[in-house]
Amino acid sequence: MYSATVSLDPAFVVGPVRRRTFGSFVEHLGRCVYTGIHDPGHPTADADGFRGDVIELTRELGVSTVRYPGGNFVSGYRWEDAVGPVEQRTPRLDLAWHSTEPNLVGVDEFMRWAARTGVEPMMAVNLGTRGVQEALDLLEYCNVPGGSFWADQRRANGAEDPYRIKMWCLGNEMDGPWQIGSKTPQEYGRLAAETARAMRMIDPGLELVVCGSSGSQMPTFGEWERVVLTEAYEHVDYVSAHAYYWEEDGDLASFLASVVDMDHFVESVAATADAVRAARKQTKRVHISFDEWNVWYQKRAESRPPSGDDWPVAPVLLEDRYNVADAVVVGNMLISLLRNTDRVHSASMAQLVNVIAPIMTEPGGRIWKQTIFHPFALTARHAAGEVLRLAIDSPVHETARFGEVAVLDAVATHDAESGDVVVFAVNRSLTEGVALDLDLRGFPGMRVAEAVTLSNPDHTWSATADDDTSVLPQPNTSAKVADDRVRAELPPVSWSMLRLVRE
């Protein structure tokens, strides 16, 4: 058994826990919208055809914001096709996912779903096939009270009050060669700056996200951020970051250490944004919107869109089945997002339902939770107050991809009002348990209110519609307090949460 020590002190604070860290993503992709959130024939469906059971699980997951409508989809989207009477709408080809978009759900339906679910919308505009004017039209439709063409169209379509959407993404992954209308950083930076400037003429209070490169592995990464921000710095509030990880070639140790890359990614984007800030003599800081993150087995067959003459509606796409190790990595990614709360001000797990998702549905039928649901729901529910800067003393082990990596990773939050301290931790060892020793001298008189661990001797176990309860976070009975220290044993390949309250 390994031993690791974590020291906490209320004075060492990174920044606030931000509710927007617990965002999600609904894209018109595969079965995320159709037969996902929207399934009119389902027994729990409302008048708009939205499944009540999906809304319930989205609430239980603790989702704050939902990014919409894409993703790659948005780069070919004509939002006007999906407003007004549903029976007058026509299907369109969706080139991004080689599918047919039936346009049964559009911005008005999505906004009703968001209101019912109690989530904040984060809207993306198409800067692939479209530009400034169409972004302005959509913004006018959504946020202007009335008395102008698009605002009055919204009212005629049944939404008297403006939606007043605050967060807007200026396109999606515009450096990706797969992106419809992909651009050079100069082209995109100019377009993003001009779109942002014009959008603020309608609504100065918007919070705007400019596209960073599609991932830290992109050849464009770094230089893309520098050039785009040089063009657009004054006009935007966030730069986006996207990261997906998966276990490759059976190298579980490297996969479990994926957050080494995520932390480095955040540090690099923040450093680039700060360098541009200095070069452009700006005072405000541009922060990070980590608006796509998850485990995604991109090389599996179900990640490949259909082809040829086959343009199906809502095909099965990206329906990854997550195991226990995947859930540990997801829990660790949340640890990273919280630890970086001074720079990551918003994040969206991609995606919500069926498509690389914590929630799965059968068309017209059952709903079930994937393993990754649990670390997200528990972190979203219990992280509160401020994120603490920890001193972690952990043994290391060797990984093929990242070299020596700490076996234990953790983050803690402290709610000054209630006094609660919550520690989220992962044991990334494949074989050894970790005897965790929490030094709580800065927090005298605490007791363990709840200690749970997600693990399984078979870390390849995945939930199904028939069984999504056999492997749930279980009480960790080893957690004990003595002399202002908490000790707990964390099994190999595990994610844990320890909630401590004042005596």
Give the active site residues: 173, 292
Tokens representing residue 497 in the block: 């949460």
| Closer of 359 and 388 to ligand AHR (Cβ) | 359
> Looking at 66, 335, 350, 500, which residue binds ligand AHR (CB under 6 A)?
350
Q: What are 157's two structure tokens?
A: 């379509």
Q: How far apart are CA 219 and CA 83, in angstroms?
A: 39
Pick the stretch among 68-76, 341-349, 382-390, 451-459 that binds ligand AHR (CB under 6 A): 68-76
Selected binder of ligand AHR within 58, 195, 272, 351 (CB under 6 A): 351
Binding region for ligand AHR (CB under 6 A) out of 35-43, 66-74, 86-94, 255-263: 66-74
Give the whole-angstrom CA distance, residue 273 versus residue 286: 6
Query: 213 or 455, CB closer to ligand AHR?
Result: 213
Which positions from 9 to 48 touch ligand AHR by CB under 6 A, shown as an x/- string? Answer: ------------------x-x-------------------
CB distance 178 to 76 below 8 Å: no
Q: C-beta of 287: minimal distance to ligand AHR in Å? A: 20
Residue of the chain from 23, 30, 36, 71 that contacts ligand AHR (CB under 6 A): 71
- Per the CB < 8 A criterion, the answer to whether 412 and 8 are in contact is yes
What phi, psi does 407 have (nearest 5°)? -70, -40
**Residue number with CB closer to ligand AHR (117 or 351):** 351
Residue closest to ligand AHR when measured from CB atoms: 71
Which residue, 128, 126, 125, 119, is CA-closest to 142?
Answer: 125
Site string for ligand AHR, 410-439 (x = CB under 6 A): ------------------------------
- In angstroms, the first-to-last Cα distance of the chain is 30
**Cis status of the peptide bond prior to 16, with omega within 30 of 0:** no
Chain center to CA of 311: 28
Instruction: Work out how close the CB of 179 gets to ligand AHR at its nearest, in angstroms, rounded to a whole number.
Output: 8
- Window of 43-51, 64-72, 229-237, 365-373 that interacts with ligand AHR by CB under 6 A: 64-72
Task: Supply 297's token pair.
Answer: 């087995």
Interacting stretch for ligand AHR, rule CB under 6 A, among 69-77, 85-93, 126-134, 188-196?
A: 69-77
Q: Is residue 99 near ligand AHR by the rule CB under 6 A?
A: no
Q: Which of 35, 72, 371, 494 binds ligand AHR (CB under 6 A)?
A: 72
- CA-to-CA distance for 213 and 242, rounded, in angstroms? 8
Cis preceding linkage at 71, omega within 30: yes
Our finding on whether 173 is near ligand AHR (CB under 6 A) is yes
CA 429 to chain CA centroid, nearest Å = 26
Could you tell me the smallest distance in angstroms from the CB atom of residue 63 to ligand AHR?
A: 16
Site string for ligand AHR, 288-307 (x = CB under 6 A): ----x---------------
Q: Choose which of 58, 64, 65, 172 interacts with ligand AHR (CB under 6 A).
A: 172
**Residues whose CB falls within 8 Å of the CB of residue 97, separated by 6 or more in sequence, listed in order:** 28, 29, 30, 72, 73, 305, 315, 317
Give the whole-angstrom CA distance, residue 421 versus residue 160.
44
Beta bridge partners, 66, equal: 24, 121
Residues 6+ apart with CB under 8 A from 180: 72, 75, 76, 95, 96, 128, 129
Footprint of ligand AHR (CB under 6 A) = 27, 29, 70-72, 172-173, 214, 292, 350-351
